[in-house]
């Protein structure tokens, strides 16, 4: 036996996987959307496990603040502001050159999502915003591809697995999972929280890819490492027959371009307006408390203003946001998701 032949031997010795399961992993295609903390952890775990093909997508580049928890990147990547997807691919191929790694530097919208799903067996959520997750959810339901939700901030994290036709989808659980709120840029994050979520997502992926569906955790798992709390909530009964994404007559609302996050450059104002795809009422007082550590915050009861990155962000109670100081929609969306989730 050569060292190459021996590569996955310890994984194959794990009875639920075995040689047959390893063969299934090696013939599978995983799509990871997001190449930040969760995305890099997931990508490395799958590549080391011998996934056949991995597609990783991200719109951002490597910064110094990423290095604390985004495990594929180096100081050289941050110095050169290398796009995350490109830096990730280079590192992943140095770990396992037999895996076919495809990297895209792009913002995933409806059009991109449709193109990315060809031949994909599983989708892993490593995004930083709910708009993209809702898009993943509808695409998953329409194409019948399972996906694994994951999120973390501070010392808190959660994860659950969505199997089209069997489990509740993200839309079903919107009342259970808080929309937006704190982000890593407002509340910080510790790397162990990332690692726990990655462990759960990767393990669930192994179960699905090797045909061990009965072992899939049928709960919404959440934890707070700092407070020593964890919970596992049964979600089977939360599946809704009238759900627009997975119900008896699905309409897949987030694949409708009319329901996507709406952006517009305001004429003559060097400002981009962003309307989120999900209607929500913002608690401006609570939001001001969370954003105060980042810059100058002011509020008048109707709107909140934050000055950061030489830009002024104005947030209204209905969720509408104005990003002053840029006409670039991509930059405005980056700032929006970075500070508002």
Q: Give one DSSP letter per residue of 265-312, joined into a string.
A: EETTTTEEEEE-SS-----HHHHHHHHTTTSEEEE-SSEEEEEETTEE
Count the neighbouring beta carbons within 10 Å of the beta carbon of residue 290: 18
Does residue 327 share a domain with residue 210? no
CATH number of the domain that residue 294 is part of: 3.30.310.10
Domain count, the chain: 2
Least-confidence region, from 10-19, 112-121, 229-238, 274-283: 274-283
pLDDT digits (tens, 9 = 90+) for 214-240: 999 999 999 999 999 999 999 989 999
Please check whether residues 225 and 273 belong to one and the same domain: no
> How far is the C-alpha of 157 from the C-alpha of 154, rounded, in Å?
8
Nearest Cα residue to 30 out of 195, 148, 168: 148
- 1 domain-assigned: no
- Which residues participate in catalysis according to the annotation? 184
Predicted local distance difference test score (pLDDT) of residue 109: 84
Q: Are residues 177 and 313 in the same domain?
A: no
Pairing verdict, β 29-33 and 122-125: parallel
**In a shared domain, residues 69 and 196:** yes
**CA angle 104-106-112, nearest 5°?**
90
- SS3 assignment, position 216: coil
Task: For residue 56, give every residue at least 6 positions away whose Cβ sits within 8 Å of its Cβ, in sequence order, or none.
Answer: 32, 35, 39, 43, 85, 88, 89, 92, 101, 102, 103, 104
Q: Tell me whether residue 330 is in a domain.
A: yes
The structure tokens listed for 111 are 């059009």
Question: Residue 1 pLDDT more than 80?
Answer: no
Coil vs helix vs strand at 232: strand
Q: How far apart are CA 207 and CA 210, in angstroms?
A: 5
Domain range holding 329? Answer: 261-340
* C-alpha pair distances (Å), 34 with each of 37, 42, 57, 252, 271: 9, 10, 6, 22, 26
Say whether both 158 and 267 belong to one domain.
no
- Say if 196 falls within a structural domain: yes
| Residue 209 C-beta-side C-alpha neighbours within 13 Å | 32
The pLDDT mean for the chain works out to 90
Can you tell me the distance from the alpha carbon of 62 to that of 70, in angstroms, rounded to the nearest whole number? 9
Query: Which pair of structure tokens corresponds to residue 262?
Result: 């709406």
Residue 23 shares a structural domain with residue 140: yes
330 contacts 261 by C-beta, under 8 angstroms: no
Percentage of residues in the chain having pLDDT higher than 70? 94
Among 12, 59, 34, CA closest to 198: 34
* DSSP letter (8 states) at residue 179: P
Same domain assignment for residues 225 and 268: no
Same domain, 246 and 129: yes
Query: Is the domain of 184 the same as that of 293?
Result: no
pTM (two decimals): 0.81
pLDDT in tens, 296-323: 888 877 678 888 888 888 888 777 888 9
């Amino acid at each position: 036996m050569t060292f190459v032949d021996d590569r996955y031997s310890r994984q194959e010795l794990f009875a639920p996987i075995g040689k047959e399961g390893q063969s299934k992993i090696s013939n599978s295609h995983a799509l990871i959307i997001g190449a930040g903390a969760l995305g890099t952890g997931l990508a490395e775990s799958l590549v080391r496990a011998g996934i056949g093909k991995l597609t990783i997508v991200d719109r951002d580049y490597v910064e110094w603040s990423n290095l604390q928890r985004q495990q594929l990147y180096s100081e050289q990547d941050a110095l050169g502001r290398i796009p995350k997807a490109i830096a990730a691919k280079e590192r992943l191929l140095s770990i396992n050159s037999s895996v076919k790694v495809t990297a895209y530097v792009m913002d995933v919208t409806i059009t991109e999502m449709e193109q990315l799903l060809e031949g994909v067996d599983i989708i892993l959520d490593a995004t930083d915003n709910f708009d993209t997750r809702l898009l993943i959810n509808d695409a998953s339901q329409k194409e019948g591809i399972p996906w694994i939700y994951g999120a973390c901030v501070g010392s808190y994290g959660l994860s659950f697995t969505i199997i089209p036709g069997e489990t509740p989808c993200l839309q079903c659980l919107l009342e259970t999972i808080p929309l937006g709120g704190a982000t890593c840029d407002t509340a910080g994050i510790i790397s162990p929280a990332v690692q726990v979520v990655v462990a759960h997502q990767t393990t669930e992926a192994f179960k699905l890819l090797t045909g061990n569906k009965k072992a899939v955790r049928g709960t919404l798992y959440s934890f707070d490492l700092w407070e020593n709390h964890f919970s596992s909530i049964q979600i089977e009964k939360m599946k809704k027959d009238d759900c627009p994404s997975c119900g008896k007559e699905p309409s897949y609302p987030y694949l409708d371009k009319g329901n996507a996050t709406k952006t517009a450059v305001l004429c003559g104002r060097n400002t981009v307006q962003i309307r989120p795809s999900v209607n929500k009422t913002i608690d401006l007082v609570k939001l001001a408390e969370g954003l105060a550590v980042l810059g100058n915050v002011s509020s008048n009861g109707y709107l909140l203003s934050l000055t950061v990155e030489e830009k002024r962000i104005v947030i209204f109670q209905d969720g509408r946001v104005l990003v002053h100081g840029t006409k670039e929609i991509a930059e405005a969306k980056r700032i929006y998701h970075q500070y508002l989730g």
